Amino acid sequence: MGNEMIKEAKAVNKQGDKFYKNKQYTEAIKLYVESVKLMQMAGEEKKASKYQEELDAAVGKQSEILNNEADDLYKQKLYEEAIAKYQHAYDFLQKAGDKWIKKRGKEFLKELNKSKVAFAKQVQETAEDHVKNHNWEEANKIYRNVLSIVTPEVDEKMNKSMVHDQMTVYERWAQEVNDKGDALYKEKNFEDAIQLYSEAVRLIEKSDNEKKKKSFKKELSKAFTEHAEEINALGDKLMKEKEYMKASELYAQSVNIATEAGNQKLIDNYTKEMNKAFEKFAQMINDKGDELYKAKNYEEAAKIYENSVEVAKESKNKGLIKNFQKEYEKCLEKYAVEENKLGDQFMKAKEFEKAMDKYKRSVNIVTRSGNAGKIKNFTAEYHKACLNLAKNINAEGDELYKAKNYEEAYKLYDRSVELAEIAEDKGKIRSFSKERNKALEKMNE
């Protein structure tokens, strides 16, 4: 058994060498990986290490190709696509080991970071246009995205500049909202003014203008102190209109202001009202989930139930959270069962690829519910579908092999190996791999 495995490993490695010489590094990598595994299984660690070096070399070469492709995208000023390609090249290089990282790592990373900075400069103009047109939210989205790409590690100076620009957007946005609040306050429209002042405080907190932070908070605090009755009236009005989200936001801001003022009575009152508003808001969301659940639209119902759980957590009502979590998990199980049944139908029709997709989906869904029994059962069915599909594809490969269409046979055998690996069937992995490697030998004769 050991000698046979060593023989197979050598044959597979030899085919990898041919692909390497033809600069077909992706194919070479696949075969080198296989040859390393076979040598390790045969207990030939020395030879396995030698094959590993060849594998590392192929990975390094493939990373260079990816990096060159990224260079072309950069020259075309397609910076976002270039970033993705440079990142892929760098990740690939890391798999090649320390030798390759030392050789090309700094260069690859420098090019990746250069493309990130170029992208930031490119979209900065769009952000500035949004600012000129007072499209604060759109401008902010761009800065958020850019800051997630151009971190301090990439370019500290650029990052600081972008952070400052984003804070300036928040400052100008807050000022605009606060000015509207002032206008309404002068008109004695205290309810709407307080809502705008609250929004202005929330926005200015994200800026670096400490002076305005104090000023806006002072205006809001004054409005709250002088018009506590109007705040309560506004909260009651929003609750009656079933605007629970707005009511909860108003009361949350009220709690913050009362806390700053050190008024415990107001803190207690607004906290109580805030929790009540969150409860109502969560219940309203949950009711929508119930409607979808009754209509057997489990996919959408699950999304709604998940949202209701998150809102219920804000209410601090443990009973409500527990009930909504239970409904969410129950819905996920129903949703998973529906997908699983569709998988069964496809299995009976011998449409194994469709069955595999449905079973995989059912596993992903039920995993979120935490039902260990169903996770185990659905996973077993998913593996079974993968194996049946692998067998079918492998049989198609046999027909092509008999017809001496070795290239197409190889592709199907390779796919059958991948599916057998998902199914975790060691026997089929071995037998399908042998057939794949045999087709490969014929291709290179």
Q: For residue 1, is pLDDT > 60?
A: no
pLDDT of residue 104: 87
Q: Distances in Å between the alpha carbon of 441 and those of 2, 16, 17, 31, 36?
A: 21, 10, 12, 11, 18
Mean pLDDT of 261-266: 73
* Protein fold of 1-147: 1.25.40
Which two structure tokens, joined as six digits, stand for 423?
Answer: 């199914």
Mean pLDDT of 122-137: 93
**90 CB-contact burial (10 Å; exposed 0-12 / middle 13-18 / buried 19+):** buried
**133 CB-contact burial (10 Å; exposed 0-12 / middle 13-18 / buried 19+):** exposed
pLDDT tier for residue 261 given thresholds of 50, 70 and 90: low
User: For the chain, which residues make up each domain, given as ranges?
Assistant: 1-147, 155-214, 339-445
Q: Give residue-wise pLDDT tens across range 133-155.
A: 999 999 999 999 999 999 999 99
CATH of domain 339-445: 1.25.40
Nearest-CA neighbor of 298 among 371, 343, 365? 365
Which amino acid does the sequence have at 289?
A: G
pLDDT tier for residue 340 given thresholds of 50, 70 and 90: very high
Q: Do domains 1-147 and 339-445 have the same CATH topology?
A: yes
Q: Give residue-wise pLDDT tens across range 423-440.
A: 999 899 989 988 988 888
Contact 107, 70 (CB under 8 A): no
Q: Give residue-wise pLDDT tens across range 56-97.
A: 999 999 999 999 999 999 999 999 999 999 999 998 888 877
Q: What phi, psi does 328 have (nearest 5°)?
A: -60, -50
Nearest-CA neighbor of 176 among 227, 131, 112, 123? 131
Q: What is the pTM for the complete model shown?
A: 0.60
Which two structure tokens, joined as six digits, stand for 17?
Answer: 């060498």
Which two structure tokens, joined as six digits, stand for 127?
Answer: 């952000």
Which amino acid does the sequence have at 411?
A: K
- Residues belonging to the chain: 445
